[in-house]
């Protein structure tokens, strides 16, 4: 069952979620980022049904996150590769992995993946930095405000938070 599209919603988060489609889309992009490229490998890695995998690959391609390239004729067989837009999702995957590692809901002995700088071999993690100075924020204290692309509903969301904070 396909969920309702976020098309037309003025929200950058909704746009990315819409492009990914659903949780299967996220896992497919994860596997492509890890270097899997062939249909059978994606199916084996996720355990997804053929119908769902085929549907999600078409949607990811249609949303510009992946490209399909033929690697064999008779029968035609394809590999799937991330586009630059698809590679941008890597930061989202890293954030999800970092949160998942911290939560450790599966009670694992340690993280299932380690993310390393290819040059130094040092572990990396996402962090908030000051956009002007590039300095890491030691104690993130975030304020969110409407940007130039905010629509009426986004302004309303932010106003509701402000109203709730001033209530007794």
> How far apart are the C-alpha atoms of 107 and 73, rounded to whole Å?
45
Q: What is the pLDDT of residues 60-113, one digit of tens each?
A: 999 999 999 999 999 999 999 999 999 999 999 999 999 999 999 999 999 999
Listed residue (34, 69, 39, 73) closest to 56, CA to CA: 39
The domain ranges of the chain are 12-88
Q: How confident is the model at residue 1 (pLDDT cuts 50, 70, 90)?
A: very low
The per-type count for the chain, helices as H runs and strands as E runs, is 7, 2
The listed CATH number (1.20.1090.10, 1.10.10.10, 3.20.20.70, 3.90.870.20) that belongs to domain 12-88: 1.10.10.10
> How far apart are the C-alpha atoms of 155 and 146, rounded to whole Å?
6
Q: What is the pLDDT of residues 16-41, one digit of tens each?
A: 999 999 999 999 999 999 999 999 99
Tell me the percentage of the chain whose pLDDT exceeds 70: 98
> How far apart are the C-alpha atoms of 22 and 3, rounded to whole Å?
8
**Over the chain, what is the mean pLDDT?**
92
Q: How confident is the model at residue 3 (pLDDT cuts 50, 70, 90)?
A: low
Q: How confident is the model at residue 166 (pLDDT cuts 50, 70, 90)?
A: confident
């Amino acid at each position: 069952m396909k969920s309702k599209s976020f098309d037309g919603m003025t929200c950058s988060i909704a746009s990315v979620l819409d492009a990914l489609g659903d949780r299967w889309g996220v896992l497919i992009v994860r596997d492509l980022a890890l270097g899997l490229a062939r249909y059978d490998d994606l199916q084996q890695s996720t355990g997804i049904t053929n119908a769902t995998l085929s549907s999600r690959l078409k949607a990811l391609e249609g949303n510009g996150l992946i490209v399909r390239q033929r690697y064999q004729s008779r029968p035609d067989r394809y590999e799937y590769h991330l586009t630059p837009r698809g590679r941008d999702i890597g930061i989202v995957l890293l954030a999800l992995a970092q949160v998942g590692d911290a939560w450790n809901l599966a009670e694992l002995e340690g993280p299932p993946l380690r993310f390393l700088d290819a040059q130094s071999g040092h572990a990396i993690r996402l962090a908030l930095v000051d956009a002007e100075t590039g300095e890491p924020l030691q104690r993130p204290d975030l304020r969110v405000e409407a940007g130039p692309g905010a629509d009426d509903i986004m302004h309303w969301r932010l106003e509701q938070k402000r109203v709730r904070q001033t209530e007794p």
